[in-house]
């Protein structure tokens, strides 16, 4: 058996450790005390979750001895070689595991608000705080600007916002008065000299006594905002906690920058879509109009229109272009503008209007198809002459009946060499509402077509009597009933358009 000295064994253990965990090589160089074997063999306090404990070694109980005899002290067992290094490696592994779990949860957040909430929760766990808030104010000034709290109600955030920003640690970061690169700790607000009186008052009211603030930024996007964690008692994060939260926020900044860019893109798409739709609905005697629209995150091609026509008539249209994104939005704008022109020229014949639209679509955009519904409305006669191309049937809602209007089965525009389908007439009674909608209303339910139609019919039949005089209230009730639990949110996966026409 080879007799290897203790000094050599320590070198070998250090080498193996560094080979197995390359992420901590630099740190290993600081703690691999190869030249001091006695120091490494000294007893080391236990570690808890990667933190060096300061609990002293327990005292040994010595058995009583008779008078006049020398007590015999039992030998203290030596710690195994490399115990200190193994403890530190265990701490590093624990820290890395924690950061991995927290960043995995963060990267799964699909939206900015959800990511900010996850950032506050993870940071609170890392620094040992209970409440927090984050303020997003991108340095380029393009927004979006938002403030989100953890454990703080909206009124609490309002109280904090009454404090001068220069008196708040995160406010100084936002205003560029302090970089806060390693964080700004305020371990005891009430013992600090020169604390702003309003800040003292708000802190006493909300019950926090210390804070720790960090900037949120990236090298490419620059300044994004700042986060601050609030302690109920005087406290400040330890050196290890600061290191961990610093690593986490650096990663979080990159994720937030991507979500900010996505949020800006969605806002731009929604604005562009809204600009291509009517900014107001016309007022025509004998009818009331209301429209509701929900735009998907990528921007879609669903549209609606209502335009006055000669002889006190009204042209009504809803439709949907295939695809999503800027190209679909652009195609929707071109198609809607063309339909308006055809409606002015030959609106009395809805079939001719859609035939012209189909020819235009086939010649100018052969790779795209669309569904459409156009109606020539005569308010004085309470009549709508309707033609549809692959579109869902309208819904007639009244005090004594709720039914789908039977329309002919026809292909979408751009699917056939020559589109044509017969039109139908809707004769409404006073107080009845005709609801036009796009297929997104049915698709967002996630159910089969038959079940989605049944849900829509039940929602329309269940409109309270008090709401039936307002077409906007009817559309809102149908949206909430057909798409409950937030499925009617503006950032759903499908575009949704509703156009309600109530006859007086």
3-state secondary structure 164-211: CHHHCHHHHHHCCCCCCCCCEEECCHHHCCCCCHHHHHHHHHHCCCEE
Task: Report the distance separating Cα 286 and Cα 348, nearest Å.
Answer: 18
Bond before 361 cis per omega within 30 degrees: no
User: Which residues belong to CATH 3.60.40.10 in the chain?
Assistant: 276-503
The whole-number pLDDT of residue 49 equals 36
The whole-number pLDDT of residue 78 equals 60
User: Which residues belong to CATH 3.30.450.40 in the chain?
Assistant: 110-269
The whole-number pLDDT of residue 409 equals 67
Place of tokens 């091609």: 301
Provide the residue-wise pLDDT of the chain in tens; the chain has 504 residues: 334 343 333 333 333 333 333 333 333 233 333 333 343 334 444 433 333 433 333 343 344 444 445 555 556 566 566 788 888 888 888 888 989 999 999 999 988 999 999 999 999 999 999 999 999 999 888 888 999 999 999 999 999 999 999 999 999 999 988 887 789 999 999 998 889 999 999 999 999 999 999 999 998 889 999 999 999 999 999 999 999 999 999 999 999 999 999 888 878 877 777 778 888 899 999 999 999 988 776 667 899 999 999 999 999 999 999 887 788 888 889 999 999 999 999 989 999 999 999 989 888 888 889 999 999 999 999 999 999 988 899 999 999 999 999 877 688 888 876 667 788 999 999 999 999 999 989 988 889 999 999 999 999 999 999 999 999 999 999 999 999 876 766 656 688 999 999 999
Task: Report the distance separating Cα 181 and Cα 246, nearest Å.
Answer: 9
Query: Domain 276-503, what fold?
Result: Phosphatase 2c; domain 1 (3.60.40)
Closest CA to 481 of 450, 444, 448, 449: 444
Whole-structure pTM value: 0.63
In the CATH scheme, what is the code of domain 110-269? Answer: 3.30.450.40
The whole-number pLDDT of residue 76 equals 56
- CA 118 and chain centroid, separation: 11
The whole-number pLDDT of residue 477 equals 95
The whole-number pLDDT of residue 35 equals 38
The whole-number pLDDT of residue 301 equals 84
Angle between helices 326-346 and 350-364 (to 10 degrees): 140
CA end-to-end distance (rounded Å), the chain = 105
Place of tokens 């159910």: 447
């Amino acid at each position: 058996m080879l007799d290897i000295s203790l000094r050599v064994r320590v070198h070998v253990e250090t080498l193996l450790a560094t080979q197995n965990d390359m992420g901590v090589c630099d740190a290993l160089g600081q703690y691999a005390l190869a030249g001091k074997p006695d120091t490494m063999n000294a007893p080391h306090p236990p570690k808890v979750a990667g933190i060096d404990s300061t609990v002293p070694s327990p005292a040994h109980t010595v058995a009583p001895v008779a008078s006049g005899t020398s007590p015999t002290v039992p030998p203290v067992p030596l710690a195994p070689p490399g115990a200190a290094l193994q403890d530190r490696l265990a701490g590093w592994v624990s820290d890395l595991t924690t950061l991995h779990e927290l960043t995995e949860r963060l990267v799964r957040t699909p939206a900015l608000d959800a990511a900010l909430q996850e950032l506050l929760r993870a940071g609170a766990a890392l620094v040992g705080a209970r409440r927090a808030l984050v303020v997003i104010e991108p340095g380029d000034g393009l927004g979006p600007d938002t403030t989100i709290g953890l454990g703080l109600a909206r009124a609490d955030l309002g109280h904090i916002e009454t404090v001068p920003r220069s008196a708040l640690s995160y406010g100084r970061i936002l205003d560029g008065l302090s970089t806060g690169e390693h964080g700004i700790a305020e371990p005891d607000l009430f013992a600090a000299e020169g604390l702003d009186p309003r800040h003292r008052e708000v802190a006493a009211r909300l019950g926090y006594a210390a804070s720790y603030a960090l900037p949120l930024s990236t090298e490419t996007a620059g300044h994004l905002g700042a986060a601050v964690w609030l302690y109920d008692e005087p406290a400040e994060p330890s050196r290890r906690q600061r290191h961990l939260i610093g690593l986490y926020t650096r990663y979080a900044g990159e994720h937030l920058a991507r979500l900010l860019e996505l949020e800006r893109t969605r806002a731009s798409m929604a604005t562009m879509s809204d600009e291509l739709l009517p900014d107001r609905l016309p007022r025509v005697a004998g009818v009331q109009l209301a429209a509701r629209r929900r735009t998907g995150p990528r921007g879609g091609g669903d549209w609606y229109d209502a335009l006055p026509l000669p002889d006190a008539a009204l042209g009504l249209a809803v439709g949907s272009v295939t695809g999503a994104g800027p190209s679909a939005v652009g195609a929707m704008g071109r198609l809607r503008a063309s339909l308006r022109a055809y409606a002015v020229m030959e609106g009395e014949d809805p079939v001719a209007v859609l035939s012209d639209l189909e020819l235009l679509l086939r010649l100018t955009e052969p790779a795209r198809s669309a569904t459409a519904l156009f109606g020539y409305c005569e308010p004085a006669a309470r009549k709508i002459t309707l033609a549809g191309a692959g579109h869902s049937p309208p819904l007639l809602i009244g005090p004594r009946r709720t039914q789908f209007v039977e329309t002919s089965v026809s292909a979408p525009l751009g699917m056939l060499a020559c589109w044509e389908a017969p039109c139908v007439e809707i004769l409404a009674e006073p107080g009845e509402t005709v609801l036009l909608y796009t297929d997104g209303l049915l698709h967002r339910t996630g159910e089969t077509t038959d079940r989605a139609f049944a849900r829509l019919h039940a929602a329309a039949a269940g409109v309270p009597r008090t709401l039936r005089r307002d077409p906007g209230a009817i559309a809102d009730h149908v949206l909430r009933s057909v798409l409950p639990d937030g499925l009617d949110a503006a950032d759903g996966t499908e575009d949704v358009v509703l156009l309600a026409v109530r006859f007086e």
